C-alpha cells in the first residue's frame, strides 16, 4: 500500500464540521456548527459513494461526538452528541429525525466540547467549558459522576479502558481517573491539551496514549506519566488525534493539515483547502481516515486502491488545495524580496515530509509548496494573500497587522481591552482566546464572538480598501450583559461593480501534466492527436511566456497547440489544456486571435458543454468564459455572444458540482456588472430567471453568495426589474430558500439588501 488518497468527499453540512466518527467501514458520523449530526452510509464501494441522513437538528452548534458500541440493550449502539446548548443527546442510529432521543443528559452549564464512550458500552464521558468532566452510566441517565480538580475548560476526554479515564484540560494538565471519580495521577504538560487518543497495545514507542494541543506537539505517554516521545511537525494548534489499528497516529490541526505518523516520524501530510481541520478519526476495521474541516466538507482517505475516489474527484481535491488562499498571518512575516523563485522547486529537495517553502512566483504571487517525501516533489498547496476575501489597509497591534482592532470596555473606569481580528480567522476561536488571555469568564465567549460577527459582516467580495478596515469600534459588557453600543454601519454589498476573474495557476504542473498525457497518446499509437517534440518545445515556450505575463509574445501557433489539447484530445486528457485556455481568455491579444478562429464554436463542437461532458472540463471552460471580462476585447466577445454563452451554461445552473456552479455564478456576476453599464433588458431578465433557479437549488455557500450578489446587482438596473423579479421570477421565495440553507453573516447581509430593494 502507498500513500493515503482521497476516497470520498461528503458534502452537505452548511458550517464547520467539528467532530467525526468512523465506527464501521461503511458508516461515518459527523457533527457540525450547522446544528446537525449526520449519518453517512456507503451506497456503493468503487468508487465509494455515501448517502446522508440528518439524525439531529438543534438550535446551537454541535461540537462533539461519541459512538457507544453495541450491547444487548442497544444492538446498533448509540450516537452521542453535544455542543453549545449544554445538552448531551443520546440516540440509536436507526431513529428518524423527528423521533425522541433515547436520553438527554443534563448537568453541564456550558458548551460540551468533548465526548467519548467506553469499549464495553457501559459509560460515556463528557468534557465542557464549565471545567467539569462527567461520567454517565449508559441506561441510567438521571445522574452523573463529576471528575474533580479541573481548573479550566476540559477540551479532551478518553475512555482508555473500562476502568481508566483520561482528561486533557486548558489548565495544561492531563489527569487519569477511575470511572468512580477517584484521581489516579496528574501529568503536567507544556501547554493547553486539546486532543487525546489511545495507542494500540504494544505500541512500538512503548507509550499507552498520545496528547496534543496548543504547542503543536504530539506527546506520547505511559499511564504512569512518563513521556516516551514528542512528535514535531505541525505549525499550529492540534485539535484532534486518532490511532490506526497498525499503530500509526493521525492528527489534524489549525495549519490546514492532517498528518500521518509512523515510528515517530511524519510520513504523509494531507493539506486541506480550509482554514482549520477540526477533527479526524480512523476506522478500526480498515484503517481509513475521515476528517472534518472549516470548509464544511467531510473527507475520507484510504490506502486501498479499490477504495480510491474516481480520478476526477481526486484531481478536484488537489485543485481546491492548490487554488486555496492562505492568509499571510497564518505563515508569519514574509520578506518577498528574499524568497526564492520557481527555479528552487527543481533545484532543491525538501528535508522532511510536510516541509513548507514559500516561492516568489514570476507573476508576483507568493505560493506555498509542501514537500512530499513519498513522491519526491514539491506540491502547490495555495497562494498566500494579505487576507482571505478582502483587501485593504491593515491596522498594527503589538507588531502584527490586522483587519480590525476593536476596543472592548469590560469594566467602567478601566481602559478598554484591545481585540485584534483578521477576517480569515475563526471568530469563535478568537473570542475564546481573547477571554483566556484577559482572564475573563468563559461565559463571555458567545458575546465576544457575536460582536465580531456583527461588526465584520459583509467584509468579502469586491470590497474597497475603506470598507475592509475599521479601527476603534467598541463594545461594552457591564456585568456580562450584551454589547451596549450598536455595531458600526455595515458596508453595502450591492451593486457589485468589479469583474471577477479566476487566474491562479501553476504553469509548471500544467505543462508536466500535458507532457504526461501526450506520452500516453504516443504510447497508445494516437500520433494524429499527440504532439511531436517540436510541438512540445513550442508549447513550453508559450507556457513560459504566459507564466511571465508576456502575452504579447505568445505566437498564434502556440495558442493553436493549446486549443488542440483542450478540444481535440480525449476528454479525460483535456483538463490541462482547458486550464491554459482559461488563462488565455484573460489576455486581450489571445482573445482577439481566438475570436477569429471561432473559439466558442470550437469549444461547443468539442462537447465540453454537453450533459455527458466530464464535469471538471465543463467547469474549466466556464471559468474561461468568466475570464473574458478581464479585458475590453473579452467583454466585447462576451457581449456579442451572450445568447451562445447562455445556451452553453444553462444546462448546468442546477448542477451539484460545487466548482462548476461557483464558476457559473461567477460568470453571472460578471454579466450583471456588464449590464450595469450596457443595459439590455431581455438579457437582464434572462439572467434573473436563471438566478432564481440557481438560488432555489444551490446549497454551497459560495455559490449561493455569488448567485445572490449577481441577482442583487441586476435589481439596481431599475424598478421594472425588481417588479419582474418579485412577481414573475419569485426571487423573494428563492432568496428565502437560500437564506434557510446557508446561515452565514455575508449571506444574511446580502439577503437583507435584496429584500429592501424588492419592497
Which of the four pLDDT bands, split at 50, 70 and 90, describes residue 198?
Answer: very high
Distance CA 375, CA 372 (A): 6
Strand-pair partners of 231: 218
pLDDT tens by residue, 123-177: 999 999 989 999 999 999 988 999 999 999 999 999 999 999 999 999 999 999 9
CB 509 within 8 A of CB 380: yes
One domain for residues 505 and 595: yes
Peptide bond into 47 cis (omega under 30): yes
Q: For 278-293, what is the mean pLDDT?
A: 97
State the CATH number of the domain containing residue 627: 1.25.10.10
What are 228-264's pLDDT values in tens digits?
A: 999 999 988 999 999 999 999 999 998 899 999 999 9
Same domain, 449 and 549: no
In a domain, 428, yes or no: yes
- Beta bridge pairs of residue 17: 32
Q: How far apart, in Å, are the Cα atoms of 335 and each of 48, 331, 339, 383?
A: 44, 12, 7, 15
Between 320 and 291, residue with greater pLDDT = 291
In whole angstroms, give the CA distance from residue 664 to residue 108.
Answer: 46
Question: What are the pLDDT digits (tens) for 69-86?
Answer: 999 989 999 999 999 999
- DSSP sequence for 114-154: EEEE-TTSSEEEEEETTS-EEEEETTEEEEEEEE----S-E
List Cβ neighbours of 172 (8 Å cut-off, separation of 6 or more): 188, 189, 190, 191, 192, 193
Are 663 and 619 within 8 A, CB to CB?
Answer: yes
Is the domain of 509 the same as that of 632? yes
**Above 60 in pLDDT, residue 489?**
no
Do residue 529 and residue 562 come from a single domain?
Answer: yes
- Average pLDDT (288-306) is 96
Q: Which of 89-98, 479-488, 519-528 has the lowest mean pLDDT?
A: 479-488
Nearest CA-CA partner of 544 in 531, 532, 534, 553: 553
Higher pLDDT, 453 or 544: 544
Residue pointed to by grid coordinates 448542477: 655
Q: Is residue 433 domain-resident?
A: yes
Asked if residue 552 is part of any domain, the answer here is yes
**C-alpha to C-alpha distance for 746 and 751, rounded to whole angstroms:** 9
At 746, the pLDDT band (50, 70, 90 cuts) reads confident
- Residue at a domain's end among 603, 634, 652: 652
Q: For the chain, how many structural domains are there in total?
A: 2
Inside any domain, residue 734: no
DSSP 294-325: TTSEEEEEES-GGGPPPHHHHHHHHHHHHT-E
Whether 511 is in a domain gets the answer yes
- In the DSSP assignment, the letter for residue 184 is E
Query: What does the alpha-carbon distance between residue 259 and residue 267 come to, in Å, rounded to a whole number?
Result: 8
- 553 with 583, same domain: the answer is yes
Same-domain status, 473 and 566:
no
Best CA proximity match to 566, nearest among 528, 538, 595, 608 = 608
654, 737 contact by CB (below 8 A): no
| Average pLDDT across the chain, whole number | 87
Are the C-beta atoms of 293 and 33 separated by less than 8 Å? no
Which grid cell sits at 621? 471552460
Q: Is residue 596 part of a domain?
A: yes
At residue 688, the pLDDT reads: 93
Is residue 471 over pLDDT 90? no
Q: What b/e string do you get for 632-647 counting C-beta neighbours within 10 Å, with b at 16 or more? A: ebbbebbbebbeebbe
Give the confidence band of 491 by pLDDT, cuts at 50, 70, 90.
low
Q: What mean pLDDT do residues 221-229 have?
A: 96
In degrees rounded to 5, what are phi and psi of residue 113?
-115, -5
pLDDT at 458 > cutoff 90 = no
Residue 510 phi/psi, 5-degree rounding, is -65, -45
pLDDT beyond 90 at 291: yes
Q: In terms of domains, do 474 and 503 share one?
A: no
Looking at the domain assignment, is residue 103 inside a domain? no
User: Max CA-CA distance within the chain?
Assistant: 83
pLDDT at position 402 over 80: no
3-state secondary structure of 621: helix
Contact 19, 126 (CB under 8 A): no
CA distance linking residue 551 with residue 540, whole number of Å: 14
Tell me the pLDDT tens digit for each residue of 255-269.
Answer: 899 999 999 999 999
The mean pLDDT value for 615-631 works out to 94
Reply yes or no on whether the pLDDT at 457 is more than 60: no
* Backbone phi and psi for residue 548, each to the nearest 5 degrees, phi listed first: -85, 0
Which of 636, 652, 668 marks a domain boundary? 652
Does residue 504 share a domain with residue 603?
Answer: yes
Instruction: Flag whether 525 is in a domain.
Output: yes
Contact 673, 629 (CB under 8 A): yes
C-alpha–C-alpha distance, residues 276 and 464, integer Å: 27
Q: Are 402 and 420 in contact (CB under 8 A)?
A: yes
* Integer Cα distance of 243 and 249 in angstroms: 5
Q: Is pLDDT of 602 > 70?
A: yes
Assess contact for 67 and 80: CB atoms under 8 A. yes
- Domain membership of residue 628 as a residue range: 499-652
Do 586 and 635 belong to one domain? yes
Which CATH number goes with the domain that contains 417? 3.10.20.870
More confident residue, 256 or 471: 256
Task: Give the sign of the dihedral formed by CA 346, CA 383, CA 241, CA 195.
Answer: positive
3-state secondary structure of 576: helix
Q: At what angle do helices 556-567 and 575-584 cross, to 10 degrees?
A: 140
What is the C-alpha separation between 316 and 313, in angstroms, rounded?
5
As a whole number of Å, the CA-based R_g of the chain is 27
- What pLDDT, on a 0 to 100 scale, did the predictor assign at position 411? 59
Does the structure show a pLDDT above 70 at 327?
no
Average pLDDT over residues 747-755: 88
pLDDT band at residue 225, thresholds of 50, 70 and 90?
Answer: very high
Residues 470, 509: one domain? no
294 and 15 in contact (C-beta within 8 Å)? no
pLDDT of residue 128: 94
- The verdict on 533 and 456 lying in the same domain is no
Last residue of a domain, one of 423, 451, 480: 480
Residues 463 and 528 grouped into a single domain: no
Amino acid at each position: 500500500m502507498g500513500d493515503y488518497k482521497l476516497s470520498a468527499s461528503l458534502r452537505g453540512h452548511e458550517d464547520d464540521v467539528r467532530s467525526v466518527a468512523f465506527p464501521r467501514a461503511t458508516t461515518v458520523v459527523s457533527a457540525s456548527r450547522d446544528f446537525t449530526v449526520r449519518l453517512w452510509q456507503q451506497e456503493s464501494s468503487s468508487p465509494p459513494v455515501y448517502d446522508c441522513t440528518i439524525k439531529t437538528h438543534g438550535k446551537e452548534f454541535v461540537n462533539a461526538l461519541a459512538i457507544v458500541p453495541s450491547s444487548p440493550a442497544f444492538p446498533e449502539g448509540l450516537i452521542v452528541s453535544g455542543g453549545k446548548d449544554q445538552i448531551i443527546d443520546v440516540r440509536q442510529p436507526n431513529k428518524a429525525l423527528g423521533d425522541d432521543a433515547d436520553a438527554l443528559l443534563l448537568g453541564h452549564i456550558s458548551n460540551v466540547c468533548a465526548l467519548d464512550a467506553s469499549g464495553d458500552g457501559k459509560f460515556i464521558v463528557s468534557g465542557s467549558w464549565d471545567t467539569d468532566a462527567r461520567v454517565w452510566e449508559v441506561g441510567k441517565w438521571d445522574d452523573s459522576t463529576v471528575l474533580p480538580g479541573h481548573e479550566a475548560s476540559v477540551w479532551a476526554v478518553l475512555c482508555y479502558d473500562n476502568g481508566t479515564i483520561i482528561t486533557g484540560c486548558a489548565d495544561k494538565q492531563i489527569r487519569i481517573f477511575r470511572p468512580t471519580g477517584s484521581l489516579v495521577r496528574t501529568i503536567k504538560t507544556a501547554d493547553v491539551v486539546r486532543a487525546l487518543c489511545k495507542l494500540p497495545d504494544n505500541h512500538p514507542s512503548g507509550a499507552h496514549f498520545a496528547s496534543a494541543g496548543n504547542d503543536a506537539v504530539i506527546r506520547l505517554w505511559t499511564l504512569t506519566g512518563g513521556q516516551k516521545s514528542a512528535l514535531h511537525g505541525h505549525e499550529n494548534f492540534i485539535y484532534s488525534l486518532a490511532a490506526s489499528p497498525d499503530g500509526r497516529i493521525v492528527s489534524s490541526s489549525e495549519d490546514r493539515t492532517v498528518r500521518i505518523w509512523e515510528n515517530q516520524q511524519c510520513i504523509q501530510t494531507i493539506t486541506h483547502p480550509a482554514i482549520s481541520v477540526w477533527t479526524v478519526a480512523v476506522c478500526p476495521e480498515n484503517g481509513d481516515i475521515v476528517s472534518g474541516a472549516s470548509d464544511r466538507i467531510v473527507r475520507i482517505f484510504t490506502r486501498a486502491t479499490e477504495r480510491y475516489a474516481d480520478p476526477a474527484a481526486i484531481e478536484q481535491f488537489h485543485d481546491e488545495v492548490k487554488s486555496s488562499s492562505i492568509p499571510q498571518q497564518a505563515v508569519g512575516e514574509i520578506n518577498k524580496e528574499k524568497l526564492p523563485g520557481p527555479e528552487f522547486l527543481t533545484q532543491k529537495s525538501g528535508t522532511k515530509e510536510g516541509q513548507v517553502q514559500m516561492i516568489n512566483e514570476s507573476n508576483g504571487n507568493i505560493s506555498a509548496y509542501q514537500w512530499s517525501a513519498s513522491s519526491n516533489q514539491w506540491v502547490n498547496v495555495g497562494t498566500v494573500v494579505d487576507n482571505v476575501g478582502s483587501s485593504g489597509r491593515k491596522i498594527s497591534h503589538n507588531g502584527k497587522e490586522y483587519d480590525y482592532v476593536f476596543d472592548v470596555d469590560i469594566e467602567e473606569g478601566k481602559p478598554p481591552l484591545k481585540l485584534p481580528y483578521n477576517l480569515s480567522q475563526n471568530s469563535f476561536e478568537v473570542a475564546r482566546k481573547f477571554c483566556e488571555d484577559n482572564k475573563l469568564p468563559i461565559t463571555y465567549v458567545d458575546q465576544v464572538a457575536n460582536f465580531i460577527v456583527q461588526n465584520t459582516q459583509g467584509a468579502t467580495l469586491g470590497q474597497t480598501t475603506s470598507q475592509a478596515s475599521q479601527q476603534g469600534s467598541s463594545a461594552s459588557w457591564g456585568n456580562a450583559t450584551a454589547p451596549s453600543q450598536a455595531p458600526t454601519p455595515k458596508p453595502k454589498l450591492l451593486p457589485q461593480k468589479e469583474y471577477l476573474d479566476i487566474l491562479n495557476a501553476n504553469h509548471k504542473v500544467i505543462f508536466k501534466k500535458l507532457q504526461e498525457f501526450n506520452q500516453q497518446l504516443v504510447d497508445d499509437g494516437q500520433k494524429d492527436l499527440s504532439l511531436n517534440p517540436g510541438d512540445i518545445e513550442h508549447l513550453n515556450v508559450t507556457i513560459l511566456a504566459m507564466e511571465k505575463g508576456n502575452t504579447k509574445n505568445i505566437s498564434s501557433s502556440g495558442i493553436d497547440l493549446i486549443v488542440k489539447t483542450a478540444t481535440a484530445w480525449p476528454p479525460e486528457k483535456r483538463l490541462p489544456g482547458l486550464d491554459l485556455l482559461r488563462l488565455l481568455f484573460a489576455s486581450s491579444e489571445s482573445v482577439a486571435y481566438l475570436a477569429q478562429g471561432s473559439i466558442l464554436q470550437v469549444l461547443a463542437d468539442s462537447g465540453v458543454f454537453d450533459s455527458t461532458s466530464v464535469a471538471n472540463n465543463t467547469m474549466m471552460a466556464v471559468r474561461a468564459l468568466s475570464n473574458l471580462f478581464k479585458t475590453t476585447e473579452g467583454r466585447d466577445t462576451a457581449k456579442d455572444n451572450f445568447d451562445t454563452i447562455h445556451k452553453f451554461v444553462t444546462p448546468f445552473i442546477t448542477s451539484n458540482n460545487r466548482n462548476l456552479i461557483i464558476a457559473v455564478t461567477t460568470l453571472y456576476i460578471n454579466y450583471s456588472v456588464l449590464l450595469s453599464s450596457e443595459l439590455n433588458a431581455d438579457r437582464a431578465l434572462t439572467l434573473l430567471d436563471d438566478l432564481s433557479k440557481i438560488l432555489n437549488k444551490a446549497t454551497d455557500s459560495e455559490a449561493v453568495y455569488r448567485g445572490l450578489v449577481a441577482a442583487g446587482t441586476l435589481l439596481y438596473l431599475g424598478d421594472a426589474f425588481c417588479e419582474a423579479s418579485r412577481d414573475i421570477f419569485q426571487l423573494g421565495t428563492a432568496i428565502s430558500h437560500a437564506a434557510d440553507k446557508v446561515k452565514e453573516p455575508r449571506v444574511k447581509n446580502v439577503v437583507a439588501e435584496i429584500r429592501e430593494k424588492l419592497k
